[in-house]
Structure 1
Amino acid sequence: MNMLSRIEAAPVTVDASPRPRRPLWQRAGLVVVPIAVIAASGIFIDRDGPAVAAPPPPTVTVASPLVRSVNEWDDYVGRFEASKSVEVRPRISGAVTAIHFTDGAIVQKGQLLFTIDPRPYTAALAEARAGLASAQSDLALARANLDRANRLVADDAVSKSDVDQLTARLRAASASLAAAQARVRARSLDVEFTQIRAPIGGRVSDRRIDAGNLVAAGDTNGTLLTTINALDPIYFTFDGSEALFLKTKRAQQSGAVASPVEVKLQDEGDYRWNGRLDFTDNALDPRSGTIRGRAVLANPKLFLTPGMFGNMRLSSGGTSSALLVPDAAIQTDQARKTVLTVARDGTVAAKPVQLGPVVDGLRIVKTGLAAGDRVVISGTQMAMPGAKVTTRIGRIAPMNAAVAPPGGAPTIGEATFAAR
């Protein structure tokens, strides 16, 4: 018996009996289940791991509104006009022989500007004076005849009718003398008018006619020689709306006294020209709803020129307490203006406000804000209404703080009403 035979003949207990094979789905489950367990355990591990920290609330700068006494002004736009303006025209006709001024110069009242050839008028004056002498002679003769006749009346040497005729001749001679005297005065005026002098003081325009030209006399149809504008004082004319007119009238009824007007030019940042309101028209224009007003300003250096554009502000009276915030803190919510405020718990809220003018870079808030509110002045783009924020305390300060007047409340600039 060979080796193989002995092995086959030996009794087989464990190894010789074949194990039953598992079905395919059970063998696949032995592989899938551990993988699923591992994946599930990984998911639970991720869930049980450290959570991602939420971002901290944004930090904004807050400050209480600045409380100051300010003087609010109404703003007007207008132009300067000469307080007096004259068109220089000749009062007699003739040839211009000389011009005695420089174009654009400052002239004084009575200064010689033009000379018209006086020879025709001098001759006319001499003729008038000769007529005056003749009239004086006729009057003397008529008076002597009447005196002689009056002495003969007592002797009945002269009739009553002759005396009456001599009396009439005396009266006619007196009238002729008066006419001759008037002609002399007229001819003297013509000679005087050959020298054309400045009727007012001011700045003269350029000459419209040169020497050697003939000019015609007349009021409106006469030859225009030049123009003169009086510049000291000078007028500032403007048109105010009916609302501002009513506001000023209401303030006057309550006892407020309007302050002097202040004007700034187009290239100026400050209101440096001072004056007073001296005229308001007697009616509003029904087509535009505006009323014309005028202020007068001193102009000793003649810097202000008619036709120059300017912005004028006029106070309707007294100072008032106002809340001021940076203009950058104002936000626009559709048709309204809002200011972001932060409560004590850090919650942001938007408050609708009614705005006033700008004062030294700060905006006046008329309504909607309290003095104790904490206004977001920096970081407004990170503050959302209803969200939480971290606050940092800041301070609102004007750009140019004015010194308080002695014994009075501190003031800070002056506001200007702008069209909004």
Structure 2
Amino acid sequence: MKPIIKNRQRSLLPFGLLVASILALSGCNKEQEPRKMPPPAVSVISVTKEPVGDYQEYVARTEAVNTVELRARVEGFLVKRDFVEGQTVEKGQLLFEIDPKPYIASLKKAEADLASAEAELDKSQKDLKRSKDLYQKGHLSQADLDTQTSKEAKAEASVQAAQAQLDTAKLNLSYTKIRAPFKGQIGRANYSIGNLVGPSSEPLATLNSIDPIYVNFQVNEQQFVSHLQENPDSRTSEKRAFEMSLRLPNGSDYNHKGTFNFADTRIDETTGTVSLRAEFPNPQGIIVPGLYVTLVVESKIKTEHPTIPQSAVQENQSGRFVLVVNADNKVETRQVELGRRIGPMWVVDSGLKVGEKVIVEGLQKVRAGVKVNPTTVTIDPETGGIKSRPAPDQKQGGQKQDSQTNKQG
């Protein structure tokens, strides 16, 4: 019986080692469990209100205050073109010159003709004086005196005609030099040096003034009449209840404000609209005539509205929405109604309250219901980008405090 007991003890030994190994492995696995990931970091803004007025947008077109077609007033060959096409020229600057030689010759002939006429007049005046003396003494008949008086009158008329010819010759000579009547941008030259031009030719070039610039637009008759009823002095008063700004074709906002300039005195019967005009400064020449722009007319009486950057706005089948971080640092989806756009910012008509936290950076990392670690930043209203962030030590301290709070919770 003793040998049998000894073999049973030997058979239990491997089983004990197996159990010990399993327990050891389970202890190692327990120590190597993965740590819980921290909440994703996002940047948020605190919603604030900004003063926003009632506004209306109009499709408008720009127009030069002064436009002139430069034409040749005398005939001749072009001998000079003293400007660069498309550039700004100054008032009085020489632009074109027509060959002046024929007109210089005409001027000299006119000067000679005038001198000859003046000499003839002087002789006639002396003859008339002698004739009057002879007539007084009875040595000259009335008929001869009348003849001499007529010659003196003709000589005086000849002087006046010669003087007119001289003035015309001077004027024609001045027309050979074509100068800019005002400062502006000159377009393409339609003729090259050596071309024969004259009064019947096409315009040599077109010159447009650039500063200021007109902006023409139309409003329907209902709006126009309502405005006149509410503001009866708006046609003449300099203190108007609205201000004007422009949005350029590339979507950027023009950095100068405009003033109301003109309202037509009649309604267009075919369209039911009235033509209006605004005037904008254009010192850099950014706005050129014929440009389609968006004219924004905003009332000077403003009310407070929340504003958020466009980067925070998303859209789905239900409309536009933003992601809001609540008091528990959890993400919520919030549907919003948006109003006008001011540069990169949207005006929020409904859906947000002052002080709520809206995610502006890290949107792709989160979804509704997820807990996040928010950092409050400020937005530059001119660009829509992040203007400033908290200092690293403040940020880390806030994150550490949040993590400790979460750990205690």
User: Partners of 2:183 and 2:217 in 1: how far apart?
Assistant: 25
Q: AA paired with 1:279?
A: F
* Residue of structure 1 equivalent to 2:230: 251
In the TM superposition, 1:259-270 aligns within 5 A as 259-270=242-253
1:264–1:362 CA distance, 2 compared to 1 (3 A) = closer
- 1:272 and 2:255 are equivalent in the alignment: yes
What SS does structure 2 have at the residue aligned with 1:183?
helix
Q: 2:278 aligns with which of 292, 295, 303?
A: 295
User: Partners of 1:152 and 1:313 in 2: how far apart?
Assistant: 89
User: Partners of 1:267 and 1:141 in 2: how far apart?
Assistant: 78
1:324–1:138 CA distance, 2 compared to 1 (3 A) = same
List alignment gaps of at least 5 residues for structure 1.
1-64, 334-353, 372-376, 379-397, 403-420
TM-score by length of 1: 0.61
* Residue of structure 1 equivalent to 2:264: 281
- 1:126 and 2:108 are equivalent in the alignment: yes
Q: 1:318 aligns with which of 301, 305, 330?
A: 301
After TM superposition, where is structure 1 displaced by more than 6 Å over at least 4 residues in a row?
65-68, 321-333, 398-402
In the TM superposition, 1:50-69 aligns within 5 A as none
How far 1:331 sits from its partner (Å)? Answer: 12
* Residue of structure 2 equivalent to 1:236: 215
* Residue of structure 2 equivalent to 1:409: none
How far 1:140 sits from its partner (Å)? Answer: 0.5
In the TM superposition, 1:144-155 aligns within 5 A as 144-155=126-137
- 1:201 and 2:186 are equivalent in the alignment: no
Q: CA RMSD in A?
A: 4.2
Q: AA paired with 2:210?
A: L
- 1:172 and 2:157 are equivalent in the alignment: no
What SS does structure 1 have at the residue aligned with 2:69?
strand
What SS does structure 2 have at the residue aligned with 1:267?
coil
How far 1:187 sits from its partner (Å)? Answer: 0.9
Deviations 1:202-228 (A, max 9, x none): 11112111111111x22xx42321111
**Is the contact between residue 95 and residue 117 of structure 1 (CA under 8 Å) also seen in structure 2?**
yes
* Residue of structure 2 equivalent to 1:309: 292
Structure showing the higher helix proportion among its residues: 2
- 1:72 and 2:51 are equivalent in the alignment: no
1:401–1:116 CA distance, 2 compared to 1 (3 A) = closer
User: Partners of 1:326 and 1:203 in 2: how far apart?
Assistant: 38
User: Partners of 2:381 and 2:105 in 1: how far apart?
Assistant: 74
How far 1:262 sits from its partner (Å)? Answer: 1.0
1:401–1:197 CA distance, 2 compared to 1 (3 A) = closer
List alignment gaps of at least 5 residues for structure 2.
1-46, 319-336, 360-377, 383-409
User: Partners of 1:201 and 1:68 in 2: how far apart?
Assistant: 41
In the TM superposition, 1:405-420 aligns within 5 A as none
What SS does structure 1 have at the residue aligned with 2:284?
coil
* Residue of structure 1 equivalent to 2:326: none
TM-score by length of 2: 0.62
* Residue of structure 2 equivalent to 1:361: 346
How far 1:363 sits from its partner (Å)? Answer: 3.9
1:331–1:113 CA distance, 2 compared to 1 (3 A) = closer
Q: AA paired with 2:286?
A: F
- 1:156 and 2:135 are equivalent in the alignment: no
**Is the contact between residue 257 and residue 316 of structure 1 (CA under 8 Å) also seen in structure 2?**
no
How far 1:318 sits from its partner (Å)? Answer: 2.7
- 1:113 and 2:92 are equivalent in the alignment: no
Paired residue total: 303
**Is the contact between residue 357 and residue 364 of structure 1 (CA under 8 Å) also seen in structure 2?**
no
- 1:186 and 2:168 are equivalent in the alignment: yes
